[in-house]
A and B are shown apart, each in its own frame.
Chain A
Amino acid sequence: MTRYVMAIDLRRCVGCQTCTAACKNANATPPGVQWRRVLDIETGEFPDVRRSFVPVACMHCDEPPCEEVCPTTATKKRADGLVTIDYDTCIGCANCVMACPYEARSIVHEAKFAYGDTPIKSEEVRFDPARIGVSMKCTFCVDRIDEAARTGQVPGRDPEVTPACVNSCISGAMSFGDIDDPNSNVSRLLAETQSFRMHEELGTGPGVYYIWDKG
């Protein structure tokens, strides 16, 4: 079996938001919608102050609560662990938005562009009317993953078939791959380090691991 996951090394993340920008560029999300963003957490009191950066997006859960509540079956979980949305089936009821504990989903009810009502050239080309009025979220760049099946390349190793955010990360904090393959980069990384998953107590089985210390 294949189970694609992401590992994010919080020790390395510098909060540059390049992954946020790369995601927006790759997926042409409208203004105000970020499928991926980086949380900026400031803790402690002077002089013992810490700043942590936490990239968040859809966690592509083992037991996605969004899939369970979706009344239309638009949200589905694939055998390789990716949680997808069929824009042609979704009715935009927002039940999945309420079910997601990671604030990963958005619904935009009317077309929005960076500079008012008129799209700029790049927006004009990439505007997808199917996404209006329906739920949307990070796809782990599913089109690239599917391309890997055709070309024989390996997601997480070959950039052409790896999520845009992972490719863009300037500090090498983000890794992607098949956790069921013991030789994949994520499997090796997670074996060597200590990690946690967000809100594990909710039983969703998130597919994103946050590395916080050496093993």
Chain B
Amino acid sequence: MKAKTLKAGDRIGPRQQHNWDWRAASNFIAGGAGGGLLFFAALASLAGIDVRALLLGGMALIGAGLTCVWFEIGKPWRALNVYRHLATSWMTREAAVAPLVFVCGALALLTGHSIFVLLTGVFGAAFVYAQARILSADKGIPAWRHARCRPMLVATGFAEGAALVAVAAPFVMTSAAGQIAVAAVTLGLLLIRVLLWRSYLAGLRADGAPEGSLRALAAVDGQFLKFGNLLPAALLLVAALGAPLAGLALIPAGLIAVGGGWLVKYTLVRRAAFTQGFALPHLPVRGRGPAGAAVKPGWGGAS
């Protein structure tokens, strides 16, 4: 009987969401990296580099993410209804940016005109931003709606994009100076990402969050820091200093940095996505006794 009572109470605290599975997570994982890649490919094109393969890769990533989502939604044949709420829905805005990415990207590939390359990069960046806003608008998941989540997500999208350019650099850039510049930019973005990540974790702990979210994020913190950022940063530093054959260090550095970002996004969308739960600021007053203390089960940090 005791166990049953406790089980009933379990439904009061935050619960891990189960509506968005790996398919939804894939959209944020691949779409964010793809958008970032398009943005940095557009920047690289300003230096006269042939970025057609990068554009293709960025569009493929965004397309793969959206395809995964299409398989997740309950009514896939009504998917075009997604365009009906541009006024406030960031999911609509994300969906609206996607065709712009593909049309401009296709025109860039076909014509090679720089304006289309640049526009593809701008829309890629907009895609990354829209994805971050989708999560931050979801008030039911405290770990997503936290004010520091959005900049962290944008930062990792751009860092992953730059890291993918770094992976491709030995193949598309012949000059050592270009490879050094890519290494330096990626290094800087990794630094920004790690600072925003730590700031996000500190913010969650300071403001309070579901214990499950704090646990899930803490579980990947060490891995993300060491293998997702420090290790690629060391390799990028080697490349940035222009050591012999250092260009080859860009490939593992970029891949590891991308993997780190994907780990964080998967964790955020799946494992750390706990609901708000329920709380009572006042317990009901029955009889002559005073009201009991406020109740907010399942929350950790400072709340």
11 A-B pairs within 8 Å (CB atoms) are namely A37-B11, A52-B292, A54-B280, A69-B90, A69-B138, A71-B89, A90-B78, A93-B73, A102-B140, A103-B275, A199-B279
Is residue A81 within 8 Å, beta carbon to beta carbon, of the partner chain?
no
Q: Would A91 and B75 be within 8 Å (CB), given that A103-B15, A204-B139, A213-B291 are in contact? A: yes
Q: Let me know if B140 and A39 touch, CB within 8 A.
A: no
Asked whether any CB of chain A lies closer than 8 Å to the CB of B1, the reply is no
Within the complex, the shortest CB–CB distance from A49 to chain B, in Å, comes to 10
Q: Is the CB of A101 within 8 A of B140?
A: yes
**Can you add 14 more A-B contacts, CB < 8 Å, to A71-B82, A91-B81, A91-B82?**
A40-B12, A41-B297, A52-B292, A68-B137, A71-B85, A74-B81, A93-B72, A95-B91, A97-B19, A98-B144, A99-B138, A101-B140, A198-B279, A212-B280
Instruction: Tell me, in angstroms, the Cα distance from A67 to B85 when the chains sit together.
Output: 10
B168 to chain A, nearest CB (A): 33
Chain B positions within 8 Å of A112 at CB level: none
- Is A183 at the interface (CB under 8 A from chain B)? no
Closest A residue to B133 using CB positions: A69
Residues on B with C-beta less than 8 A from A37 are 11
Say how far B191's CB is from chain A's closest CB, in angstroms: 31
**Residues on A with beta carbons closer than 8 Å to the beta carbon of B144:** 98
Chain B interface SS verdict (over half) = loop
Minimum CB–CB distance for A6 against chain B, Å: 16
Shortest B19–chain A CB gap in Å is: 4
B284 touches A10 (CB 8 A): yes
Interface positions, chain B 263-303, Cβ under 8 Å from A, are 273, 275-276, 278-286, 291-293, 295, 297
Q: Which residues does chain B contribute within 8 Å of A42, judged by CB atoms?
A: 5-6, 9
Kindly supply a per-residue 1/0 record for chain A positions 70-91, scoring 1 wherever the CB is within 8 Å of any chain B CB and 0 otherwise. 1111100000000000000111
Contacting residue for A91 out of B74, B88, B282, CB 8 A: B74
- Asked whether, in the complex, the Cβ of B140 is within 8 Å of the Cβ of A97, the reply is yes
- Does residue B183 face the partner (Cβ distance < 8 Å to A)? no
Residues in A neighbouring B291, C-beta threshold 8 A: 212-213
> How many residues of chain A get a CB closer than 8 Å to chain B's CBs?
54
- How distant is the Cα of A68 from the Cα of B89 in the complex, in angstroms? 6
The reply to whether the CB of A170 lies closer than 8 angstroms to some CB of chain B is: no
Whether a CB of chain A sits under 8 angstroms from the CB of B95 is: yes
Contacts of A44 in B (CB 8 A): 292
Given A42-B5, A72-B84, A199-B276: A98 and B74 interface contact (C-beta under 8 Å):
no
B81 close to A72 (CB less than 8 A): yes
Distance (whole angstroms) from the CB of A205 to the closest CB of chain B: 12
Which residues in B have their C-beta under 8 angstroms from that of A54? Answer: 278, 280
Cα(A158)–Cα(B15), bound, Å: 38
Minimum distance in angstroms from B294 CB to a CB of chain A: 10
Are A212 and B279 within 8 A (Cβ)?
no
**B3 beta carbon closer than 8 Å to chain A:** no
Give A109 to B279 CA distance when docked, in angstroms.
30
- B9–A41 touching, CB < 8 Å: yes
Please determine whether B17 and A133 come into contact, CB atoms closer than 8 angstroms: no
